[in-house]
Amino acid sequence: MSDDLIFRAGGAGRSTLSPAPLDRSKGPGEFVPAPDDDVLVCRCEEVTKGDVRRAVHDGMYTMTEVRRYLRVGMGLCQGQSCTKLVRRIMASELGVSQAVLDAETSRAPMRPVEMRVLGSEGDAREGDGR
Amino acid sequence: MTERMSGETDALAGMADFVVVGAGVIGCATAYNLALRGHSVIVLERDESIGNGGSSRNGGGVRQSGRDARELPLALYAVENIWPGLSDELGADVEYVKRGNLRLGKTERHLEVLQGLARTGVEHGLDMRMLGADEVREINPYLSDEVIGASWCPTDGHANPLRTTLAFYRRARELGVRFVSGVQVTGVRKLHGRARQVATTTGIYEGDGVILAAGLGTRLLAASVGIDVPMHGLLIEALVTEMEPTMFPQMLGTADADFYGHQTAHGSFVFGGDSGLEEANGYAGGVPTSSITAPAICRSIMKYVPRLADAKIVRTWAGWEDECADGVPVISSVDEVPGLTLACAFTGHGFGISPIVGRLVAELACGERTTLDVSAFRYDRFRAWA
């Protein structure tokens, strides 16, 4: 882990101040295997702690990138169980505070919805008698 | 030299053979191809994350059918020569599946549209034909009775755009490309008549060549050296279902263009589409995405694939296309600004051709003979009505 990673102050969307750019040629150094690398952190998509740590060494430096790279937090629970864990592992691997990592994006719908329910808008309108 | 914009600083922040602006799939593929040639490259990205624009917000189509005749040679080349080996080449699974594209029709008028697309494809050497109702169901038994025919291109397919973009990024980075994200680029500067410098709010990046691959942002940056590309933002929205049992491997589209999509390697279905109100919403200056769009996409899907009515939507999102005035991209050197190369205005069909575009842009930037003719994509092709 290195101390010379330069992160944007405040993370994405949290600061309008002119933040420092993130230079990705400065890496977190060599990947060192750890005894708890097999621990599952994302149960929906079966992603382990070691997967997340390795992703950082592959150049995935933001929550958004790790999510797209490993599908961590993209399963049925949409990251409700694993996000805090992933954030902690990423920050530790990068040698930065958790607060400088980008905020994970929450997207509609709040919970999984069947197509027939989400798409029922037209039927409801007909029911209004219009 | 252009006038300095407020917020720029003149400190030299980096030097390389080439400076690429934009770390989407086009910028990353270009950087990768330049690095393969042994060049040093710096890639500057406005967003904190790599590939956070259209590259992570498209339907993942690797499609030749339905393309403009000018763009078709690029798609044919990429499908024939690059996509099949891309996962091995980049050392990461991009989930490329080459199992065909069905474009569905429900009315006689739809079938006329599809016949037109099939004719264009065949004229340019694409294996594409029309299917009757029974033949369509042999290929995909899940389609509704409303479907009366389809165009069929067996060599089309799909891939994972998120993984593809990050795979180009990862490999380019392994080859020594320096990526800087969260950097605000303010313009291009000429030195002795050549594009050499990229100005940012945190310093100057300098190279022998400058490549603009910044989507819509390219327009403002090219304007800093007096070049204009007529394009505008067009919003598209997408949704993904939870994991479903394996149903069909083809990419689906419709003559009406009311939705498109496929089942991913993961098992989820990714679909894109629109509500028809995007333009008005975007121009109003407020939030351009709308809660009515995903339901509209769902209604369209259920008419074609009734079985999916019980599939649960877990996520919806939106993104901007850089829609070109004439519907095909700009992939071009610039006569008035030696050293400048443009790769933008992909109009929502950039992902499928990105592997060959990255090579072509690298060739243009290096002054090499290009693998394919790119004269149809020149920046100065746009003409007024009169």
pLDDT in tens, A116-129: 999 996 555 444 44
Residue type for position A88: R
Looking at CATH, the fold of the domain delimited by B101-154+232-324 is given as D-Amino Acid Oxidase; Chain A, domain 2 (3.30.9)
Report the mean per-residue pLDDT for chain B.
95
Q: Do B316 and A64 touch (CB under 8 A)?
A: no
pLDDT score of B5 more than 90: no
Residue of chain A whose Cα is closest to the Cα of B177? A25
Which residues of chain A lie closer than 8 angstroms to B294, CB-CB? 108, 118
Q: How far is CA B156 from CA B77, B126, B193, B236, B240, in A?
A: 12, 10, 44, 22, 21
Count of the separate structural domains present in chain A: 1
Domain limits of chain B?
A: 12-56+162-230+326-377, 101-154+232-324
Which residue has 């933040």 as its token pair?
A19
Q: Enter the DSSP assignment of B34.
A: H
pLDDT at B277 over 70: yes
Residue appearing with tokens 């092709």? B381
Average pLDDT of the segment spanning B123-150: 97
User: Is the model's pLDDT at A24 over the cut of 80?
Assistant: yes
Give me the phi and psi of B156, to 5 degrees please: -75, 175
Residue B249 makes CB contacts below 8 A (sequence gap 6+) with B97, B99, B100, B262, B263
Q: What is the pLDDT of residue B282?
A: 64
pLDDT at B274 over 90: no
State the Cα–Cα distance between residues A81 and A75, nearest whole angstrom.
10
In B, which residues are within 8 Å of A116 by CB distance?
298, 302, 309-310
CATH code (residue A104): 1.10.10.1100
Nearest to A57 by CA among A9, A14, A104, A92: A92
For the domain made up of B12-56+162-230+326-377, the CATH class stated in words is alpha beta
Give per-residue burial for A28-61: e unless 16+ CB within 10 Å, then b: beeeeeeeeeeeebbebbebbbbbbbbbbebbbb
Chain B's closest residue to A56, CA to CA, is B170
pLDDT digits (tens, 9 = 90+) for A36-84: 999 999 999 999 999 999 999 999 999 999 999 999 988 888 888 899 9
Q: Give the list of residues 6+ apart from residue B154 with CB closer than 8 angstroms, or none.
A: B99, B100, B127
User: Angle at the Cα of B61 (from B57 to B67), degrees rounded to 5?
Assistant: 115
What is the b/e burial string over B252-288, where b = at least 16 CB atoms within 10 angstroms of the residue's CB?
bbbbbebbbbbbbebebbbbbbbbeebeebbeeeeeb
pLDDT digits (tens, 9 = 90+) for B92-131: 999 999 999 999 999 999 999 999 999 999 999 999 999 9
Q: Is B184 exposed, middle or buried (0-12, 13-18, 19+ CB in 10 A)?
A: middle
pLDDT of residue A3: 34
Q: From CA B103, how far away is CA B278, in angstroms rounded?
A: 23
In sequence order, which residues have a C-beta less than 8 Å from that of residue B357 and are 6 or more positions away?
B26, B29, B30, B74, B329, B331, B343, B350
pLDDT in tens, B348-385: 999 999 999 999 999 999 999 999 999 999 999 999 98
Judging contacts by C-beta atoms under 8 Å, the chain A residues touching residue B266 are 71
Whether the CB-CB separation of B24 and B213 falls below 8 Å is answered with: yes
Q: What is the rounded CA–CA span in Å between residue A16 and residue A105?
A: 18
Instruction: Read off the tokens for B9.
Output: 């600083």
CB of B178 within 8 Å of a chain A CB? The answer is: yes
**Residues in chain A closer than 8 A to B51 (CB atoms):** 68
What per-residue confidence (pLDDT) applies to B285? 60
ipTM for the complex shown: 0.93
Which residue segment(s) compose the domain that A30 sits in? 1-130
